[in-house]
Amino acid sequence: MRYAHILKGTYVKPEIGFGFFSKDTEIYYDYWSSYYYYSSERKDYFSMIVQVVIGKQWVVNDIFLVDFYAGIGYGFDGGEGEYHYGYTITPDTPLSFSAGLKIGGLF
């Protein structure tokens, strides 16, 4: 037997995520190519995902942890399909993706 930290190893986890944010969208109007009229409009975006995330964690000298993960699943949004601060949803199909690298200290 050898020592292994309890946080070290491979994992699979289900994930449910909700997102809501507002942003200003720029609108340009072209009146017969003589001048442009600029306007800004605030839009609300809502999204939801259900994913399966697979990851791998390493613990280095009981001091810090390195975690790499990737997820795939089903997602929908009310917008045109873009990055939603943690995951992305494809515009043509209801697929969602996420991936990341976390580095943190243990105390």
Structure tokens at 62: 């009981």
CA torsion through residues 65, 66, 69, 75, sign: positive
Q: How far apart are CA 103 and CA 68, in angstroms?
A: 9
Verdict on whether the full-model pTM lies above 0.75: no
16-51: pLDDT as tens digits: 998 888 877 777 666 665 666 667 788 888 889 999
65-99: pLDDT as tens digits: 999 999 999 998 876 656 677 888 888 888 999 99
In 1-107, DSSP assigns E strands to 9-31, 35-60, 64-77, 88-89, 95-105
Sequence spans of domains, the chain: 9-105
- In a 10 Å sphere around its CB, with 0-12 CB exposed, 13-18 middle and 19+ buried, how is residue 28 labelled? exposed
* Residue with token string 């969602």: 96
